[in-house]
A and B are shown apart, each in its own frame.
Chain A
Amino acid sequence: MSDTAEVPFRIMPAVSDRNRHYWQGGREGKLQFQRCNQCKYYLHPPGVICPKCRSKDIGIEAVSGRAEVLTFSVNVQPWMPGLEPPFVLAIVGLPEQDGLRLTTNIVNCDPYSVTIGMPVQVLFEPHVDEEVWIPLFEPVRER
């Protein structure tokens, strides 16, 4: 998404030291997660201790940005100011770790063309004034 594209209104997340890597990674085009430096487990949503090995040695790591649509819904209802319906909510799974997943929008396609199992890739919607880059996903383009 180019910086000149029209950016829709979104409720912004409260950015903190714990989640900054996720909401601001897009500034450098990176989708980032916490990762335990001891057992290599990715944490999402972020935490303060590795829930697997209890280590507090937690780093930040960028992932490939590739994902698969695990499930989705085409939302038609205008709940509040924001995206223009119909738009797609999806839970996408990341190949880096079984169970590493997040809720996101699938964009840059016909909402009704999204399917479970569809390969997608990350892109970022800049909200520069808020210092937030929203990670979104779009269908993987054939190159």
Chain B
Amino acid sequence: MSEATDLIGERRAVISGAGQSDIGRRLFRDPLELTLDACLAAIDDAGLTTADIDGLSTYPGASGPAGFSGGGITDVHDGLRFENIQWFCGGLEYPGQLGAVVNACLAVSAGLCKHVLVWRSVFEGSAQGKGGRAAVMPGGGSTTTSFKATGFMEWVLPYSAPSAAIWIAMLAQRHFHEYGTTREQLGQIAVNARKNAALNPKAIYTDPMSLDDYLAARMITTPLCLYDCDVPCDGGTAFVVSRIDTVPDLRKPPINVEAVATALHGRPSWDQYHDLTSMPAQDAGKELWKRTDLKPTDVQLAEMYDGFSFITIAWLEGMGFCGKGEAGPYIEGGARIALDGELPLNTNGGQLSSGRLHGFGFLHEASVQLWGEAGDRQVAGDPEVGVACAGGGPMAGTLLLTRRR
């Protein structure tokens, strides 16, 4: 290997197992149960036992608003009584949710540990419960609250903009303005996701949805309608990230981490980032291809964050699957991003139709597809190369995965 390749430390890491709990719109189960179900499934999938696990990594730790975290480091460490933990890390200020997976790759690459359990679980569906979304808003939906906005929220909450839907809608609007992108084009992200969700037994919304259905949906915040917004859910997702020299101990052929990227080249902010038509997804995308000889044309499936559909547009352009400003024409009609298209996109239905597993669902789907375990929605042709991209606004992290080596 060349000197340059030696510096791509993430190549000493593999995805060795993946697991998911039950997933539902509102399960009303103990969120830690969902978290541990996913963790144990991932360990088993790798052909390992809890005694083999010597590293722990998660996003966002035990913090965040109601429903945002189903279990932090301590919950899982003690919940499964791990006795041989050499390294752990859980937190919120990561380059996207998959930053927790990147951390795990770096920990095994550095020789701190061999098998890192990585998880992300949510119970945002149940947390909203009967109170609806207002119940989980800052101030709890009360007009007599003493809550005061700080940090980034100081600059948006006093303006009645509590949701990233609005912050992202403003970027979409600017993209429409500069590049002529249309709702008919953007709608393909949601329509494609729904089509794929129908083939995913764990998906939440599977009823057929046409582009006309999409265009007729109620507006949330222009130009984003209901179907441009992902669906809060309950569920946990977990992986085992292993050091490459442990491959003989694993049950399945490993998925190699070819490259990761975590860049943020502008101001770390939803409204102060210099480019109002994009996000740091374009910074991570640019850096990713510097760490590999593979090209966007080698990628056989793309799992890209769709917390709001426009974020997927930013990732498609940022990762170089099309030129800047060209995602509208690129996805128009939907054939190119369909399961049998040249770039199958969000093959499990994404967060839009399969639930907001918050970033980790994309890596899970990429892994399952590369293992050939995706059932009715399996991408044909025995795909070997895929990408998982997560994060919107000032957070972006991506992993390029390959079975080749």
**Which residues from chain A sit less than 8 Å from chain B, CB to CB?**
9-15, 19, 44-45, 70-77, 79-83, 87, 89-91, 99, 101-105, 116, 132, 134
Residues from 290 to 340 in B contacting A, C-beta threshold 8 Å: none
Across the interface, do A13 and B170 meet the contact criterion of CB distance under 8 Å? no
Q: Which residues of A contact B162 (CB under 8 A)?
A: 11, 79-80
How many CB-defined contacts (below 8 Å) exist between A and B? Answer: 122
Across the interface, do A104 and B159 meet the contact criterion of CB distance under 8 Å? yes
Known: A71-B276, A116-B177. A10 touches B170 (CB 8 A): no
B interface, by DSSP: helix, strand, loop or mixed? mixed
Q: Determine the residue in chain B with the shortest Cβ distance to A8.
A: B160
Across the interface, do A14 and B220 meet the contact criterion of CB distance under 8 Å? no
Q: Which residues of B contact A44 (CB under 8 A)?
A: 272
Across the interface, do A82 and B160 meet the contact criterion of CB distance under 8 Å? yes
In-complex Cβ contact of B160 among A13, A80, A116 (8 A): A80
Q: Determine the residue in chain B with the shortest Cβ distance to A112.
A: B222
Across the interface, do A11 and B170 meet the contact criterion of CB distance under 8 Å? no
In-complex Cβ contact of A14 among B143, B150, B224 (8 A): B150
Q: Which residues of B contact A19 (CB under 8 A)?
A: 154
In-complex Cβ contact of B157 among A11, A73, A102, A104 (8 A): A11
Across the interface, do B158 and A11 meet the contact criterion of CB distance under 8 Å? yes
Across the interface, do A80 and B139 meet the contact criterion of CB distance under 8 Å? yes
Q: How far is the CA of A40 from the CA of B159 in the complex (A)?
A: 28
In-complex Cβ contact of B170 among A12, A71, A76 (8 A): A71
In-complex Cβ contact of B221 among A13, A75, A80, A132 (8 A): A75
Whole-angstrom distance from the CB of A31 to the nearest CB of chain B?
Answer: 14
Across the interface, do A79 and B133 meet the contact criterion of CB distance under 8 Å? yes
Across the interface, do A103 and B149 meet the contact criterion of CB distance under 8 Å? no
Residues from 114 to 142 in B contacting A, C-beta threshold 8 Å: 133-134, 137-139, 141-142
